[in-house]
Each structure stands twice: as C-alpha cells, then as structure tokens.
Amino acid sequence: MSYNTWHEYGFGICTDEIAVDSVERLQALIHMAPEFEKEITEWLNECEITSPTIEDYFEFDDDYHGELATILQAVIKEAEGLKLCYCDDFDGRDYLIFLPQYPWSANEGTKDMTEERLTEIFTKYVAVLTDSPIKVDYQSVENGG
C-alpha cells in the first residue's frame, strides 16, 4: 500500500472563505459565462431541478466536489481566458489558484500576468457573490491520498 502527497503553490483564494449571499448572485456569476451557463442548465434539466438552490449548483461537479471553486474556475476560464487550478487541502478546504508558469508555457493572457491583475480578477468575480471582501494571497496547498 502506498500513500502519495502533493503540494500546489500559487496566488489565489480559499473559496471556503466565500459566503455566497444568495442563489440569485450565484446565478449572476454563472451568467457571466454563457457556454458554462448552458452546460449547467442542461445538467439541472437532466436532474429535473426546476428551482435550484446554491447546494444544487455546488453538486454540478460530482467528480472532484469542488463546489464553488469549480464554478468560479469555469466562469473565469470562459470570461477571462485564464486557467486556474482547483485544489483542496488535508482539511478539505477548497482553493482556486494561479500556478507559477515557465516563460515558454505562458500564453498571451498569462505571460505578463501580475499580482495586481490577478487580484482584480478574483475580486471582480467574488464581488458578484458577496459584498464581503476576500483575501487574495499566496497559497500553499498540501494534500495526499
């Protein structure tokens, strides 16, 4: 029997620290990414959910159970073209982070990325969900299994 650990370093947020104020605000976030909105709407229809709750939306990712992190990841990827890493730690807390990149693997959208720009992006999308500020900072996420 073996046990593996992994460690992700990056700049981002702990999504468990975000209290979504209402299902309407979550829907407004999802609406910012039309292709993702279509995908999640089809899934809700398949599940015969006509009046979804926040928890219903969080069940969309039944592979990794990333809940809000998965939704934010999809919205930001579609709306900003920015691929963020979802990960969780030993305590089951979810994170969404921008991983360091080698210069040759960066694309036009990420080669000149700054801490300030990332903070703006995270703040923009979290502000749709809640009026409470969120801490955007360097994260060190460790897990294993």
CB 141 within 8 A of CB 89: yes
Q: Is the predicted pLDDT of residue 66 greater than 80, yes or no?
A: no
65 or 52: whose pLDDT is higher?
52
Q: What is the per-residue pLDDT for 143?
A: 87
Q: What is the pLDDT of residues 101-112, one digit of tens each?
A: 888 887 877 878
Mean pLDDT in residue range 112-125: 95
Q: Is the predicted pLDDT of residue 136 greater than 80, yes or no?
A: yes
Q: Is the predicted pLDDT of residue 43 greater than 90, yes or no?
A: yes
Distance of CA 61 to the CA centre of its chain: 11
Domain range annotation of the chain: 5-144
Q: Token pair for residue 25?
A: 């605000």
CB 142 within 8 A of CB 89: yes
How far apart, in Å, are the Cα atoms of 82 and each of 28, 49, 62, 74, 107? 19, 30, 23, 9, 10
